[in-house]
Chains A and B, each alone.
Chain A
Amino acid sequence: MSEQKLFTLRNPWFGAAVGITGGIAVLSFLAGLIWLPLAQPDLKISGIWDAICSAAGVPRAAPQSSVQQPDFKTSSVVLTSEMLTHPDQVSIGRGATLAQRCAICHGPEGVSDANSPNLAGQFAAVTYKELNDFKAGARVNVVMSPFAATMSNQDMLDIAAYYAYLPRVPSNKIDAELAAPRIVVTGAPMRNIPPCGACHGDIDTKAGSPWLGGQSAVYIKAQLEAFASGSRHNDISQQMRNIARQMTGEEIDQVARYYAAQP
């Protein structure tokens, strides 16, 4: 058996195997990359070379179309899941100084009873994004907008780093007995409401989604209602409006009460 040579044309198996395999490859190439694309009127192929390139998957530019511009400001922040996750001490220190002017509403330690967001321990990307949106006018608030208008990009980074560095203080409204309402645990799939915790940190986090535990119920409710009505629209590509507008008033109340009582 060993005396027989394998890789030689005198071996009929060699010739047949290579010939048949190569033949099928060549035929399927001709059919798939030339014949089929040319036979499709929708593709508007200009010639054989164009057919091959298109069918091989050479990227082409998007067809020109007129783009409908928004009649309101949208968020211009680019979010990635690793952004602002490595704060430096200098930035935190500067942030501490800058944050003194925030203390009236947000508390000296980033926690207050004033129905404004508790910022202590909030993800830096969240604080940074909201400040940016206030400054750009994508989010509007009579108190916050003027504050943000004067901030530089570095100021916003520093303040975000500082609040992320502060420890989350357990809210005095913690109620461990309060069972998670159904809308929080499972959402309502057919209404396109995922579980809150899939983004907001109980189960998993999504870049730009705030930690909700211990926030004021009044504040959470107001924001959900603002998203639902569209008066707040700085959530990128409607990711939060899509959810809030599907929620009932009762569900919004449940969510607000539940998160206010969480650590």
Chain B
Amino acid sequence: MTTESDSHLGEAVAARIERRWATLSIVVVGVLVGMAIFIGIDHATMPQGHVETADPKTLHLTGEFIESNLGSAMEADGSVTVRAIGQQYSFTPQCIVVPSETPVTLRATSADAVHGLLIEGTNINTMLVPGYVSELPVRFKAPGEHAMPCQEFCGIGHQGMWAKVKVVDKTAFLRMMASRRRLSCVD
């Protein structure tokens, strides 16, 4: 037999449990967002900080994405800048060479469709949208070779758009760089 007061009591209990669960859920969400902020600051991993534009029609005519300027370049501060473009259906340079344990800035854009690049075995992953420059600070731990596929559908030849990244020992890299202004591992 349930009485009027029993029912009210039940309702109050139900509401209380529900409120506790809702509070817990809000805490969970708060922790998740807090974690994102913490990692963003502590590991300085946030999305690209600036928006930059580039005209995909004229990449090959002027500016930093002309053919002879692509590849790895040594900077005055000891870091390395890698410039690359994505086009139907290859990245240029087709084989990127970088030193290990060195800050590397990857600057890339697309000459036609939307492309993307990811380097297998690393967390490096970005979109290349025609009209805009993607810039990514990266660092490779150990020497080795990684596949670098295009990760966004860019046309019928998309499945054939695989490049390579060779990470070499820093001294070896400096030796290779000595005689060249721009470096790639395309033979």
Q: Which residues of A contact B (CB under 8 A)?
A: 31, 36-37, 39-43, 54-55, 57-62, 65, 67-71, 74-76, 78-80, 187-195, 197-199, 203-204, 206, 236-239, 242-243, 245-246
Binding-face segment, B8-16, B38-46, B165-173:
B38-46
- A/B interface sample: 12 pairs, CB < 8 A: A36-B40, A55-B49, A60-B52, A62-B133, A65-B64, A68-B69, A78-B57, A78-B61, A189-B159, A198-B160, A204-B155, A238-B92
- Please give me the residue from chain B that is nearest to A238 by CB atom: B92
Could you tell me if A42 and B137 are in contact, using CB atoms closer than 8 angstroms?
yes
Could you tell me if B49 and A42 are in contact, using CB atoms closer than 8 angstroms?
yes
- Please give me the residue from chain A that is nearest to B33 by CB atom: A28
Q: Is the interface of A mostly helix, strand, loop or mixed?
A: loop
Residues of A within 8 A of B181 (CB): 68
Could you tell me if A189 and B49 are in contact, using CB atoms closer than 8 angstroms?
no
- Please give me the residue from chain A that is nearest to B71 by CB atom: A68
Residues of B within 8 A of A243 (CB): 90
Say which residue of B66, B81, B162 sits within 8 Å of A74 (CB atoms). Answer: B66
B70 to chain A, nearest CB (A): 8
Say which residue of B40, B66, B81, B94 sits within 8 Å of A242 (CB atoms). Answer: B94
A245 to B60, CA, bound (A): 20
Q: Which residues of B contact A (CB under 8 A)?
A: 37, 40-41, 44, 46, 49-54, 57-61, 63-70, 73, 81, 85, 87-90, 92-94, 111-112, 133, 137, 147, 155-163, 181-182, 186-187
Could you tell me if B41 and A187 are in contact, using CB atoms closer than 8 angstroms?
no
A209 to B92, CA, bound (A): 18
Could you tell me if B44 and A70 are in contact, using CB atoms closer than 8 angstroms?
no
Could you tell me if B63 and A62 are in contact, using CB atoms closer than 8 angstroms?
yes
- Nearest 4 CB-CB pairings of A with B: A194-B157, A194-B160, A198-B157, A70-B68
Could you tell me if B88 and A199 are in contact, using CB atoms closer than 8 angstroms?
yes
